[in-house]
Structure 1
């Protein structure tokens, strides 16, 4: 694991990443071992690209690499994470989130891709290694073997792929990765963009909607309305809701 030098670095324990994250003042440092350098470098490249758009995001402050691994240093975005917002602000936040995702999905010229085939290949690897985290599954899904859940995904793939609406997607558009101004409740930054790339826009919509339900116990209707799809395709939402937890492990 890459070791940071200097004093004042405080560990950050929020998140599901295998990397170690630290904060010092207005910067964050995400460190990894040698095995994770390629993945962290991909995140660096995506963060640099996103920072070059008009969307609010963290900027890359430094990149450090050694025989022990690597470290990505980014600026802290202002505001607070979606998970920290009080209930009284959640409706406005859902509307802001819908608008910012619509803006992201409208950006052109993204050089990164995240095709469904590669996402499913990741899921196949996680399932094969028996590394699916049951905490990411619903009670209903836990009654089945991960391989059976994967079979569902593969069976649905041709139909979902045929109707895909490709756009620049965040890839992990969950509430901890979106920051808000607690006064205006506008989005102040998107972070953790290691999975950013051209994909079906429903891959973002599905993950965000289930987060709103799980974290806030909120009806995602205002989010979908602000995004511009008041009647989303439920079949596609369900497909990506099932696929996502099979890709972490």
Structure 2
């Protein structure tokens, strides 16, 4: 299967009934039927923005049955927060209709906001340096989360027949798990990475599991021709074999 591409919605969206009490608890109106939405995940989730007495918060919602594990995201964000700027989770919960995660806003803006899309020569190297920082900073030793090939093949959806013989590991790191461009926040001044979001897939794996997807997403967001720039800024030579393998693995489920 091909993983669908998420996007910024055109305007406010309906707040699920099960989420309205949570929104009110964190400073929103008692009957918050609609709220500004900053992201719609094509798998079925929505991220709402909430400005109130507690400052700017983001409320993520995953309807029951969709493949968005907000409990895992909360756990992994709390673990990674010891080393990197990631969302400060203030509440996670679930009901029959779905689950939610409330976190405080981080500095910076998504790397796919229009002004960054218009400046890929600045944004792309910043994304690469940010991913290298994540890989160099999060400690493999003691990381309780796995994102390696056997783990992912067990959970894959689709034909995995051509994926049973992975290339040797280049370098084992704690991967982001969804290193697409929107999941890095860039500062306003110099275009450096100042935050990392959507960490449900975070875990130990070959760094090319991230690099293959990160470079793939450049074309979705900035157009073709930016992979070499990204890899040079990250500090690694192209690796067509590992890139091909991990993109095919991504296609059967991240």
Q: Cα deviations across residues 38-85 of structure 1 (Å, max 9, x unaligned)?
A: 9221110011112221x2222112223445543210112222211124
What is the SS of the residue equivalent to 2:198?
coil
Tell me the residue number matched to 2:81.
Answer: 51
Tell me the residue number matched to 2:229.
Answer: 222
Using the alignment, how far apart are the partners of 1:37 and 1:86 within structure 2?
A: 29
Of 19, 25, 42, which residue of structure 2 is paired with 1:3? 19
Tell me the residue number matched to 1:22.
Answer: 48
Query: In the TM superposition, what is the alpha-carbon distance from 1:219 to its structure 2 partner?
Result: 2.2
> Normalized against structure 1, the TM-score is what?
0.78
* 8 A contact 1:89–1:185 mirrored in 2: no
Is 1:241–2:251 an aligned residue pair? Answer: no
Using the alignment, how far apart are the partners of 1:22 and 1:172 within structure 2?
A: 20
Tell me the residue number matched to 1:115.
Answer: 148
Query: In the TM superposition, what is the alpha-carbon distance from 1:174 to its structure 2 partner?
Result: 0.5
Of 69, 75, 90, which residue of structure 2 is paired with 1:61? 90
* 8 A contact 2:111–2:117 mirrored in 1: no
Q: How does 1:168-183 map to 2 (within 5 A)?
A: 168-183=174-189
Using the alignment, how far apart are the partners of 1:105 and 1:3 within structure 2?
A: 34
What is the SS of the residue equivalent to 1:110?
coil
Aligned residues: 219
Q: Cα deviations across residues 135-180 of structure 1 (Å, max 9, x unaligned)?
A: xxxxxxxxxxxx3xx32223x42xx1x3342101001000111111
Tell me the residue number matched to 1:131.
Answer: none
* 8 A contact 2:117–2:221 mirrored in 1: no
Of 108, 113, 133, which residue of structure 2 is paired with 1:103? 133
Using the alignment, how far apart are the partners of 1:200 and 1:23 within structure 2?
A: 34
Is 1:204–2:210 an aligned residue pair? Answer: yes
Is 1:193–2:203 an aligned residue pair? Answer: no
| Structure 1 pair 20–214 and aligned structure 2 pair: CA distance change class (3 A) | closer
* 8 A contact 1:56–1:187 mirrored in 2: no
* 8 A contact 2:45–2:68 mirrored in 1: no
Q: How does 1:34-183 map to 2 (within 5 A)?
A: 35=65, 39-53=69-83, 55-66=84-95, 68-84=97-113, 85-87=115-117, 89-106=119-136, 107-108=138-139, 109-123=142-156, 126-127=157-158, 147=159, 150-154=160-164, 156-157=165-166, 160=167, 162-183=168-189
> Normalized against structure 2, the TM-score is what?
0.77
* 8 A contact 1:95–1:226 mirrored in 2: yes
Q: RMSD of the alignment, in Å?
A: 2.4
What is the SS of the residue equivalent to 1:179?
strand
Choose between structure 1 and 2: higher helix proportion.
1
Q: For structure 2, list consecutive stretches of 5 or more residues without a partner in the other structure.
A: 1-15
